[in-house]
Amino acid sequence: MLKRRSTLAVGLVVAGAITLSACGRSDDAGAAASAGTISSGKATGTIKVWAQGAEAQNLGEIIKGFQQENPDAKIEITAIPWGSAHDKYQTAIAGGSTPDLAQMGTTWMADFASAFEQVPHGVDASGMFSAANSAATVKGSAVGVPWYVDTRVVYYRKDLAEKAGYSSPPATWDDFKGMAKAMQTKAGATYGMSMPTGAKADDFQSILPFVWSNGANLTDQAGTMWTIDTPEMVGALSYVDSFFSEGIANKNPDSAVGATEAAFVSGKTPIMFGAPSEISGLESAGGAAFSDKIGVMTFPKEKSGTSFVGGSDLAVFKNAANRDGAWKLVQYLARPDVQAQFYKLTGDLPSVQSAWDQGDLKADPRLQVFKAQLNDAKSPPANTSWTQVSSAADSEMEKMVRGGTTPQQAAQELQATASTVGIGQ
């Protein structure tokens, strides 16, 4: 994508952007320096910020308040397409030409940790979701501040669930599978639910809620070795595979963009996993009367009901020309009222828990389900090998679903690959 630039009255420099989810790795990693401090007083000077997607497009609006509070500060925002952002950051770090502040996908934190300042005293992240703070921590050092969070919950057709005999969301794995099957036998669905097959990138990441909820861990507690071939992992894979072997999920679903949502709206496949943005997307696809048919629930429990947490973090580079101003801007963007306002602009879920007590975030019961899920969520391992291992896991998952490999064999093969790849940095 070609970048275009325009200068705004408040001194912002903005470039065009696209919106895609963040993932990717490099070989840059390491522990951050000791935490510093932030000076008192207002921010001054130019603060250079790089950001991606809808966040970059809306950042100029949200920082108008910061500009009013800090009139001697000038903010320059450069928007970068998600698809090229990882390489651009990597190049900037190697060339010593980084901005002061940047938006980082949570899976990038380990990649670039050696280039980030440790979060200084005076930046309080204690009121943020603990899983989000964990994703911004590398080797025990907080090297970023969660900006917004993302998680997955289960979407289901409430009207068809009632027809299938479920007036409330199922709480356990057994009941959840029972509802999916009943959607076929009693509510006329072609398939009970949409389940990732491993054919697409990050499909294994999409089933991590079942992995974690069965008590499996991808690494040991110290993060020094992969622990994939375990009874807990095999049990989780067996549960996922059973949806396919019993005909509840389609082994060869339509992979076109929007196909899963279309099948949900039509009732052919009335259960799916989704992010908060799916609410508005499904309402748009289904029409005004469809909204009341959309149900959301936290992941059903086995040993737990743990989902995936993602989103973006704010990181300040060690060689920032205006690190003090950058951290003051981070403080501003982490304020509950600012995060609630940013949600209205972007739909990004606040990382600060108290922001959920305001406006639509508090009033919409479906959004409160996401809040509940965020209190039981985890992030993938914060090491530079995760992307390679995750890609291998997609392949092993597809072999299991479509090729007849057993869950035990899938876990063994993935363990062998992960052990060869190593734990990374």
Spell out the per-residue pLDDT of the chain, length 425, in tens: 322 223 333 333 333 332 333 333 333 433 344 568 899 999 999 999 999 999 999 999 999 999 999 999 999 999 999 999 999 999 999 999 999 999 999 989 999 999 999 999 999 999 999 999 999 999 899 999 999 999 999 999 999 999 999 999 999 999 999 999 999 999 999 999 999 999 999 999 999 999 999 999 999 999 999 999 999 999 999 999 999 999 999 999 999 999 999 999 999 999 999 998 899 999 999 998 999 999 999 999 999 999 999 999 999 999 999 999 999 999 999 999 999 999 999 999 999 999 999 998 999 999 999 999 999 999 999 888 998 999 999 999 999 999 999 999 999 999 999 999 999 87
pLDDT in the model for residue 36: 84
pLDDT in the model for residue 424: 82
Q: Which domain holds residue 405?
A: 153-307+381-421
Angle between helices 53-62 and 336-346 (to 10 degrees): 130
Considering the domain architecture, whether residues 102 and 236 belong to the same structural domain is answered as no
Q: Rg of the chain over CA atoms, in angstroms?
A: 22
Considering the domain architecture, whether residues 269 and 319 belong to the same structural domain is answered as no
Considering the domain architecture, whether residues 269 and 400 belong to the same structural domain is answered as yes
Considering the domain architecture, whether residues 226 and 266 belong to the same structural domain is answered as yes
Length of the chain: 425
| Torsion angle of C-alpha atoms 82, 60, 150, 407, degrees rounded to 10 | 0
Question: Do 213 and 302 form a contact (C-beta atoms < 8 A)?
Answer: yes
Considering the domain architecture, whether residues 92 and 184 belong to the same structural domain is answered as no
Considering the domain architecture, whether residues 241 and 281 belong to the same structural domain is answered as yes
Look up tokens 């039981």; give the residue. 376
Q: Domain count of the chain?
A: 2
Q: What whole-number distance in Å separates Cα of residue 421 and Cα of residue 13? A: 41
| 316, β-bridge pairs | 101
Considering the domain architecture, whether residues 256 and 328 belong to the same structural domain is answered as no
> Which pair of tokens denotes residue 226?
């992969």
Strands 45-52 and 13-15: unpaired
| pTM for the full predicted model | 0.87
> Which pair of tokens denotes residue 404?
């007849």
Considering the domain architecture, whether residues 35 and 141 belong to the same structural domain is answered as yes
Considering the domain architecture, whether residues 336 and 416 belong to the same structural domain is answered as no
Write the CATH number for 101: 3.40.190.10
Closest CA to 90 of 115, 55, 125: 115
Considering the domain architecture, whether residues 41 and 142 belong to the same structural domain is answered as yes
Closest CA to 423 of 135, 225, 230, 140: 225
> Which pair of tokens denotes residue 193?
């639910």
> Which pair of tokens denotes residue 366?
């479906």
Question: Do 49 and 101 form a contact (C-beta atoms < 8 A)?
Answer: yes
Q: What whole-number distance in Å separates Cα of residue 303 and Cα of residue 280? A: 32
- The backbone torsions φ and ψ at residue 245, rounded to the nearest 5 degrees and listed phi first, read -65, -25
Structural domain ending residue among the three candidates 361, 378, 395: 378
CA atoms within 13 A on the CB side of 51: 24
Question: Do 217 and 228 form a contact (C-beta atoms < 8 A)?
Answer: no
Query: Which are the contacts of 363, defined by CB distance < 8 A and separation ≥ 6?
Result: none
Considering the domain architecture, whether residues 123 and 161 belong to the same structural domain is answered as no
pLDDT in the model for residue 382: 87
Q: What whole-number distance in Å separates Cα of residue 16 and Cα of residue 57? A: 8
Considering the domain architecture, whether residues 135 and 211 belong to the same structural domain is answered as no
